[in-house]
Amino acid sequence: MTGSAPASLPSRHRDPSATRTGSYPFWTRELVRFADLDINGHVNNIAFAVYAESGRAAFLHGTGLWSLDQPMRQNVLAHVQIDYLQELRYPAELRVGVRVLAIGRSSFQLGVGLFAGERCVATVRTVQVRIDGQSKAPIALDPDERRALAAYLAESSAAPEAGPPAE
């Protein structure tokens, strides 16, 4: 595999800034576990999704958008897109970068980069929807939530779309 998105991906899915460490204002760490390996000794595709999920959870908790103490305002994952750029093997330590790509009325898009050293091994784009914990219906992001997300907004407002647009 090469260090960039496969040429077969439509250009709207390729964002060169997604593979640069300087594009991510929020960071956390993950360790590759032996249990993450497939039969060939590579980290399997499900593990990449788990690493991205850990990054999202740390980001949402760190920004106050997720807490077990706030069951009435929740986030649900509505869309996820993973681009696998390079193989990853055990043992490895990963740095997981997170940035906000778009903020809608009741949803927001996050970009996640998975890095082994300076090498980007995968990029992930997600759409999260803010919902009422009881009715499960989408609810508008409040001003404090918008401010928290805006602090991590990617510099380029021309980020390519991934899945459904932010509402």
- Confirm if 138 and 130 have CB atoms less than 8 A apart: yes
The structural domains of the chain, with segments of one domain joined by +, span 17-150
- Which uninterrupted H or E stretch holds 48? helix 45-62
- Residue 102 burial class via C-beta count within 10 angstroms: exposed 0-12, middle 13-18, buried 19 and up: buried
Triad 118, 121, 126: Cα angle to 5°: 115
pLDDT at 111 over 80: yes
What is d(CA 145, CA 15) in angstroms, rounded to the nearest whole number?
26
Indicate yes or no: pTM above 0.95.
Answer: no
For residue range 70-96, what is the model confidence (pLDDT) as tens digits? 778 899 999 999 999 999 999 999 999
CATH superfamily of 17-150: Hotdog Thioesterase (3.10.129.10)
- Which uninterrupted H or E stretch holds 24? none
Residue 156 confidence (pLDDT): 58
pLDDT at 3 over 60: no
Average pLDDT score over residue span 108-135: 96
For residue range 48-60, what is the model confidence (pLDDT) as tens digits? 999 999 999 999 9
Give the amino acid at 63: T
Report residue 153: phi and psi, to 5°: -65, 135
Residues in Cβ contact with 19 at an 8 Å cutoff, skipping those fewer than 6 apart: 3, 4, 85, 113, 120, 123
SS3 at position 36: helix
